Amino acid sequence: MGPDAFRFVRWLADAGMKIWQVLPLGPTGYGDSPYQCFSAFAGNPLLIHVPEPARPHVGHDVGHDVAPESGHVCNFTAVIPAKRARLDAWLATMPLDDAVHRFVREQASWLPDYALFMALKDAHGGASWTTWERGAAQRDPDALRTWRETLRPNIERCYKEQYVFFDQFQALRTACTAHHIQLMGDVPIYVAHDSADVWANRSLFALNDDGALLVQAGVPPDYFSETGQLWGNPLYDWDAMSNEGYRWWIDRMRASLAMFDVVRLDHFRGFEAFWVVPAADTTAVNGRWVPGPGAALFTALTAALGPMPIVAENLGLITPAVEALRAQFGYPGMAILQFAFNDPASEFLPHRYARELVVYTGTHDNNTTVGWWNSSGAGDSTRAPDEVEQEQAFARTYLDTDGHEIHWAMMRAAFASVANTALVPLQDVLGLGSDTRMNLPGRQAGNWSFRFTWDQLSASLTARVRELADTYDR
C-alpha cells in the first residue's frame, strides 16, 4: 500500500478507469488464498508498506529482492518470512500509543479475538485451532486469561500491525477518491475453518463439539469440474445467526462498507440455497441443496446499514428464486463474456444485457482471455474439443474478429455494452496467457501469485485503454 499502489491509482486515472476492484484483503492462510483468510475483518500484513529506513536494502519493496519463479509470479515462500521480519523490526520501534489504543477500542468486536487467535496460532507452531491445547481450543475463560498475559507482546504487536494496515488503507482510499476512482471490495460468502471468526463464534457454525466440521461448503459439478468444487469451509448455522439478529453479518458488512465504495458479494446464490457436502467427502458430488436465510438476512442488513452498494455474484446454477431475491433488493448481477459463446441463446451475450449489470471479460476464477481463446478446454473447464471449436466459431462471428488480439475484441464488446459497469482483469488488459491465470478452482497450489511489472503499462497501452473508455463513455 505504498508508492506502487499510489502509482497504480494514477495509472488507472490516466487510463480513464473509474473502478478498481480488488480481491479480499484479509490475512491469507491455506494456499495463500484470499478466500481462506484467518479473519474476515483483519487486513493482510503482506500489503503493509514498510518505510525505507527499516529496510536493509534501498529501492524495491520486499518481494522484489528475493528470487521469483518468473516475472509474473510472486514467490510467497520467500516473500512471507522476509516481509514478516522487516515488518516486525519496524513495528518494534512503534509505541503502543493513544492512537493504537483508540483503534483497538473502535474494533473491539473482532480485533482482541483476532490478535489472541494469531498469537495462539504462533504459540502452537501454526497448527489449526482445533488441535490446540484444550483450554485455548475450547476458549476456557481461565485458560484464555492466562494465555493473554503470556502472549501480551505478540498481541500488542498484532494491534499495531492492524492499526498500520487500516491507516495506510485509508490513505490509499483517499488517493482513489482524489482521482475519482471507486474502490470495489469482495466479501466471500464463507470464512475459513481455521480462522478467528469460527474459533470465536463457534455457535454460529455447523461444527462438532470438538470444533471439527459437521458438513462442508462447495458447489455441484459445473463448468470448471465434473466433480464439483469442494471448498472445505464450515457452513453457517443460519438459525443461530437469525436468533442473534444476524449480528455477525451486520458487523461484517459494516466493516466492508467502511472500506469500500462498492462490494461484490461472493456466491450470492448460497444465500437462497447452499450446497451441503458431508465432512468426510473428497468431492462435491454427493451434496444437497439446503434453503438459506434468503430475504430475512438482507432485510436485517438493510435495516441496520441502509441500502447497500452490492454487486451480487450470481454465477453457477441460478434459479428463478435466486434472481427474485437479487431483484427484491435491487442488487445488479454479473455477466461473464467468456461464458457467452457456448450457446447462441446465452444470457451473457452483450445484446441481451440489462443496464443494471456488471460485465466482465473474465474473473479471478477464469482463465485469462488469451488463455481461454487458446485453450483446448482440457484441465481448465469441462468443455469438449468440438464444443471449443463451435464456441470459437460463434465468437469470431459475433465479435467480428479473426482472433487476433482477442482480448481487445472482448474488452470492446464489454465497454460497448449497455451494462452500467464493465470490469477487466489486468491480465486481459496486458493480453497475457494462461501462465498468468489468477486461480484455477480445485487446484491446490500455484494460485493467487500473479504480479505485473511497470514496463508493461506503457504509454501506448494506457492511451489505447483510455481511448476505449472515452469512445464508449465509460
Instruction: Tell me the per-residue pLDDT of 421-442, one tens digit each, with 9 for 90 and over.
Output: 999 999 999 999 999 999 998 7
What rounded mean pLDDT belongs to the chain?
Answer: 94
Share of the chain above pLDDT 90, in %: 87
Mean pLDDT, residues 288-297 taken together = 97
Instruction: Give residue 381's pLDDT.
Output: 67
Q: In what order do the strands lie in the sheet with 310-312?
A: 19-21, 182-187, 262-265, 310-312
Q: Is the pLDDT of residue 451 over 50?
A: yes
Instruction: Give residue 23's pLDDT.
Output: 98
CA nearest neighbour of 336 among 326, 346, 345: 346
Bridge partners for 144 per DSSP: none
Per annotation, catalytic residue among 14, 88, 222, 266: 266
- The CATH code of domain 3-56+182-471 reads 3.20.20.80
313 is catalytic: yes
Instruction: Tell me the per-residue pLDDT of 320-351, one tens digit each, with 9 for 90 and over.
Output: 999 999 999 999 999 999 999 999 999 999 99
Instruction: Tell me the per-residue pLDDT of 47-83, one tens digit each, with 9 for 90 and over.
Output: 999 998 754 443 345 444 444 446 789 999 999 999 9
Rounded CA-CA distance 118/112 in Å is 10
Instruction: Give residue 431's pLDDT.
Output: 98
Per annotation, catalytic residue among 161, 186, 194, 365: 365
Q: Where are the beta strands (DSSP E) in 66-212?
A: 182-187
Instruction: Give residue 442's pLDDT.
Output: 75
Task: Give me the residue spans of the domains in the chain.
Answer: 3-56+182-471
Instruction: Tell me the per-residue pLDDT of 359-416, one tens digit each, with 9 for 90 and over.
Output: 999 999 999 999 999 988 776 667 788 888 999 999 999 999 999 999 999 999 999 9
Instruction: Give residue 377's pLDDT.
Output: 72
Bridge partners for 273 per DSSP: 291
**Range in 58-67, 77-86, 200-209, 287-296 the model is least confident about:** 58-67
All three cell numbers of 409, joined, read 475484441
Sign of the Cα pseudo-torsion (198, 202, 203, 208, in order): positive
CA nearest neighbour of 415 among 366, 369, 474: 474
Query: Is 203 within 8 Å of 34 (Cβ atoms)?
Result: no
Instruction: Tell me the per-residue pLDDT of 136-158, one tens digit each, with 9 for 90 and over.
Output: 999 999 999 999 999 999 999 99
